[in-house]
Amino acid sequence: MRSITLKLVLAFIGVSFLSVAIIVLVIRWSTNKEFYKFVLDTNQANLVSALAYYYEENQSWSGLQIDQLMFNGRQPFRPGNHQQQHFAIADANGVVVAGTGVYRMGQMLTQSDLKSGIPIQVNNADVGTLLLQNFNFSADPREVQYLQRMNGLLWISGIGTVIIALILGVWLSRTLTRPIRELTTATHAVSQGRLGLEVPVRSHDELGDLAQAFNRMNSELERSLSLRKQMTADIAHELRTPLSLILGHAEAIHDGVLPPSAKSYEVIREEALRLEHLIDDLRVLSLADAGELSLNIQPASVQNWLEEIRKSYDHRAQSKNIRLELKIDPDLPEIDMDSTRMTQVLTNILDNALRYTPEGGMINLEASQEQDLLKISVQDGGPGVAEEDLKRIFDRFYRTDPSRQRADGGSGLGLAIAKSLVERHHGTINVESLPGSGLRIEIRLPIRALS
């Protein structure tokens, strides 16, 4: 039995049948019990009334014949034939004037026996007592037919309830399993490589949450696959450019088209270095993605670290007539970090800042403490980045200016590497910009290493 719909239907039928059967049996038992109690009480009341009427008419119990008593045209006394049934009628003195079983004519009853009986009163005076032990009155045939009809209706109602439960069970099962069937179909489609399918969200319960989670997962898978394809194409393009230059110059030198001069060899060397740098960047990213990028965490002076970085960029900034301002809050504590990796982060950010800041502009490098975090910010003097580009600025090989030459614009991996390295330090990196106001990148690192 593999169908969950069938399992749910059978479960509904089983629960409904068991519940209805218990309810019908309990109602039937209680109805029969109450019915016969009603018959007993009615017959007892009628018998007491008939006996009181007999005494009132005869002013004594002499000549009493129980099986000939009539009350309102009806004989109230229809005793069954059970051998253990006992009854007696005693006069006001407790002497039995009529009886069967353990009771004999003329027997004097005790006060405890009389207390368990039913008083017979005429004109508010006790004239006798009716005693019944294990006594059953026979029900009227019409009463028996009524009880049988009621029992039949109970069973018909029970069967009808089970049929309705079956119909509702089928409907509910199909309704409950419909999202599961849709999810199963979509999952098979994803396993066959057909991404982009969305499962309709039909409710706001757990199944609805599951459908939404599947849609998000499928969307992320499609996006990841698209990014992977794009990254593969970008890597191939990035590798092809330096390789083409290297091969072109080497073949030209080999064929005698270019002389084997220092200038030709320098072009080959520069492209080989560029190719090596690209491969190193890709290796860093792959290790970071796999969680295998090792860090050498050591206490470091923020003041000395940033001063060294600024000095290494002084010449390049001055060659472009750009001021590189460094502002560090006093008394900053030492921070636990991998200085080499974090230098790579700031180098990538400052390279972009120098690339976009025009001549005569300024780059601000600031460091301050926010509670137990070190905040480092880099503000360039470039044109800024549009809002739609900010969302993808940390994507690999993404350039906000597609027309920019790759030879002038780096590999497109700098900010992606910076983000991975900052996150490996349990930090965060954020970017904000308004067109015309430059780009501001903020890094927050825990001052003490988290391990």
Q: Which of 14-23, 96-105, 232-241, 322-331 has the lowest mean pLDDT?
A: 232-241
Judge if 8 and 127 occupy the same domain: yes
Q: Is the pLDDT of residue 1 over 50?
A: no
Calculate mean pLDDT across residues 383-397: 77
For the chain, the average pLDDT equals: 79
Q: Is the pLDDT of residue 122 over 60?
A: yes
Of the pLDDT bands very low, low, confident and very high (cuts 50, 70, 90), residue 411 is: low
**Residue 444 has what pLDDT?**
93
Judge if 284 and 338 occupy the same domain: no
Give residue-wise pLDDT tens across range 156-192: 887 887 788 778 777 877 777 777 777 778 888 777 7
Judge if 272 and 407 occupy the same domain: no
Q: Is the pLDDT of residue 47 over 60?
A: yes
**Residue 407 has what pLDDT?**
47
In a domain, 162, yes or no: no
Structural domain tally of the chain?
3
- The pTM for the full model equals 0.51
Q: Is the pLDDT of residue 80 over 70?
A: no
Domain boundary among 269, 289, 309: 289
CATH of the domain at 221: 1.10.287.130
**Residue 139 has what pLDDT?**
60
Q: Is the pLDDT of residue 268 over 90?
A: no
**Residue 445 has what pLDDT?**
93
Judge if 47 and 92 occupy the same domain: yes
Of the pLDDT bands very low, low, confident and very high (cuts 50, 70, 90), residue 363 is: very high
Give residue-wise pLDDT tens across range 6-24: 777 777 777 777 888 888 7
Calculate mean pLDDT across residues 418-434: 88
**Residue 327 has what pLDDT?**
93
Judge if 409 and 372 occupy the same domain: yes
**Residue 346 has what pLDDT?**
92
**Residue 272 has what pLDDT?**
85
Of the pLDDT bands very low, low, confident and very high (cuts 50, 70, 90), residue 326 is: very high
Domain boundary among 122, 141, 160: 141
Three-class HEC string of the chain: CCCHHHHHHHHHHHHHHHHHHHHHHHHHHHHHHHHHHHHHHHHHHHHHHHHHHHHHHHCCCCCCCHHHCCECCECCCCECCCCCCEEEEEECCCEEEEECCCCCCCCECCHHHHHCCEEEEECCEEEEEEEEECCCECCCHHHHHHHHHHHHHHHHHHHHHHHHHHHHHHHHHHHHHHHHHHHHHHHHHHHCCCCCCCCCCCCCCHHHHHHHHHHHHHHHHHHHHHHHHHHHHHHHHHHHHHHHHHHHHHHHHHHCCCCCCHHHHHHHHHHHHHHHHHHHHHHHHHHHHCCCCCCCCEEECHHHHHHHHHHHHHHHHHHCCCEEEEEECCCCCCEEECHHHHHHHHHHHHHHHHHHCCCCCEEEEEEEEECCEEEEEEECCCCCCCHHHHCCCCCCCCCCCCCCCHHHHCCCCHHHHHHHHHHHCCCEEEEEECCCCCEEEEEEEECCCCC
Judge if 265 and 345 occupy the same domain: no
Give residue-wise pLDDT tens across range 338-353: 888 899 899 889 988 8
In a domain, 22, yes or no: yes
**Residue 285 has what pLDDT?**
73
**Residue 435 has what pLDDT?**
72
Q: Is the pLDDT of residue 378 over 60?
A: yes
Judge if 109 and 33 occupy the same domain: yes
Greater pLDDT, 179 or 83: 179
Judge if 307 and 437 occupy the same domain: yes
Q: Is the pLDDT of residue 404 over 70?
A: no
**Residue 203 has what pLDDT?**
75
Q: Which of 61-70, 213-222, 277-286, 385-394 has the lowest mean pLDDT?
A: 61-70
Judge if 264 and 338 occupy the same domain: no
In a domain, 430, yes or no: yes
Calculate mean pLDDT across residues 67-95: 61
User: pLDDT over 70 for what percent of the chain?
Assistant: 86
Q: Is the pLDDT of residue 408 over 70?
A: no
CATH of the domain at 425: 3.30.565.10
Greater pLDDT, 417 or 444: 444
Supply the range of the domain harboring residue 395. Answer: 298-446
Q: Is the pLDDT of residue 30 over 80?
A: yes
Give residue-wise pLDDT tens across range 278-289: 788 777 777 777
In a domain, 263, yes or no: yes
Q: Is the pLDDT of residue 136 over 90?
A: no
Domain boundary among 90, 123, 141: 141
Of the pLDDT bands very low, low, confident and very high (cuts 50, 70, 90), residue 140 is: low
